[in-house]
Amino acid sequence: MTDSSGLAKLFGDSGLRARVLTALVLAPLAVWGVLYLPSSGFAVGFGLVLCYAIWEWTRVIGFKNKPLRALAVLVNGAIMVTLLLLDPAHWLLPIAWVGVAWWCLAVFWLRSFDFGAAPTLRNREIKMLVGSVMVVPAWVAAWLIHREPSAGPWWTLFVLMLIWVADVSAYFAGRRFGQHKLAPRISPGKTREGVYGALAGTIVFAALAGSLIEPIPIGHVLLVLLAVVTVLFSIVGDLFESLIKRQSNLKDSGSLLPGHGGMLDRIDSVLAALPIFVCGRYLIGL
């Protein structure tokens, strides 16, 4: 039987209530934008979200000068606008692969907690470059998948929902079963049990959704495997942002979203997931 007092305690959590209420507002907007905006409109909308994330990132890495922070936003925004206007088809997938390469390197950064921790100008400059490498390939990957002629918006929604399902599964599994810390120096609240819950939710969701999008059996299996890899890297994205915040003695990237913190706190997993999923699909031919 379910422990009703435990459920009451869980759902009585004010932080959880704030997260749920914020998600109830944002999720329908995101779904509408993905399914009903033309690809150019989706690219612009997602680009604006990422520009705000860069604004938060400059704060997280220690830049105090607001004009300089605004310049960083303008530079990244200009890169996205230029790509959107020129539409260099032969460049887009390689740019997404840059994102894949970066998130593989990020795994090694996570193993060295003190790398880049000192508040020096050089370290801030390195982290500013990292911000662009996180944001631009993710934007390119989202645009690439959304503009696919057949089911592009549905594939885009698939990867977003994949991360949402993994996040929710990790949250509840961690709250209910969490005993062993995943990375205590980086994010003390995350547990290995939460990761197992995320992977379980991922497999179930990908198997069910994959049966609708990819009916070929071998393709279906590959899609589930790709979903698992994508979620594992989404956890890397979450941990990496947590590491940089920890180095800067910050809890959240901002306060824009009640219960979630800043925009960057909400999309850190997505930034890693998008290039991994999109490039993975090209590799396995889905």
Residues 64-83 have pLDDT tens digits of 899 999 999 999 999 999 99
Whether the predicted pLDDT of 160 surpasses 70: yes
Domain boundaries, the chain: 25-284
Residues 6+ apart with CB under 8 A from 277: 141, 145, 159, 162, 226, 227, 230
Structure-block tokens of residue 103: 């998130």
- Per residue in 192-215, is it b (16+ CB within 10 Å) or e — as a string? bbbbbbbbebbbebbeebbeebbe
Q: Looking at per-residue confidence, does 9 or 233 come out higher?
A: 233
Whether the predicted pLDDT of 7 surpasses 60: no
Q: Please give the model's pTM, rounded to 2 decimal places.
A: 0.89
Strands 187-191 and 181-183: antiparallel
Whether the predicted pLDDT of 256 surpasses 80: no
